[in-house]
């Protein structure tokens, strides 16, 4: 059963959601740059197919988007104080959205373990 409620799990959840939003935004930027960069590169270096740039940056954007979604889901679980393991996993992948906020989220989630069901 959940123990005493403190501010730590709420702050960890909010930080997870913020870092997840950063990661989702970054993955969108990578996908857009891949599309535009491929078109520009085909004008500068016609020997390189534009699809190569798009595929490479999409290969980077897809895992970043998945990590952003996991960080947001972990943040929601931290706010609800359910599923400490998923909340901790969300905090760990939140590190990739913003390392400073991600470290704080990991620490707060770990310290608030007693609050989770």
- The pLDDT tens digits of the residues spanning 75-102 come to 999 999 999 999 999 999 999 888 899 9
Q: How many helices (H) and strands (E) does the chain have?
A: 4, 0
**Domain spans of the chain?**
8-110
The pLDDT, as a whole number, for residue 4 is 75
Q: What angle do CA 60, 63, 68 make, to 5 degrees?
A: 120
Q: Are 74 and 93 in contact (CB under 8 A)?
A: yes
| HSE (side-chain half, CA atoms, 13 Å) at 48 | 15
Q: List the pLDDT tens digit at each of the 117 positions of the chain.
A: 455 788 999 999 999 999 999 999 999 999 888 888 777 777 777 777 777 878 888 889 999 999 999 999 999 999 999 999 999 999 999 998 888 999 999 999 999 998 887
Q: Which of 107, 83, 75 is nearest to 2 (CA)?
A: 83
- Report the distance separating Cα 49 and Cα 61, nearest Å: 19
Which pTM does this prediction carry?
0.86
């Amino acid at each position: 059963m959940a123990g005493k409620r403190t501010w730590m799990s709420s702050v960890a959840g909010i930080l997870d959601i913020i870092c997840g939003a950063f990661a989702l935004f970054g993955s969108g930027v990578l996908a857009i740059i891949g599309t535009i960069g491929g078109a520009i590169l085909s004008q500068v270096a016609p020997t390189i197919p534009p699809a190569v740039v798009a595929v490479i940056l999409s290969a980077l954007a897809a895992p970043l988007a998945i990590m952003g979604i996991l960080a947001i889901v972990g943040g929601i679980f931290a706010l609800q104080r359910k599923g400490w393991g998923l909340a901790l996993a969300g905090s760990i992948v939140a590190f990739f959205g913003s390392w400073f906020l991600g470290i704080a989220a990991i620490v707060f989630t770990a310290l608030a373990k007693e609050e989770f069901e």
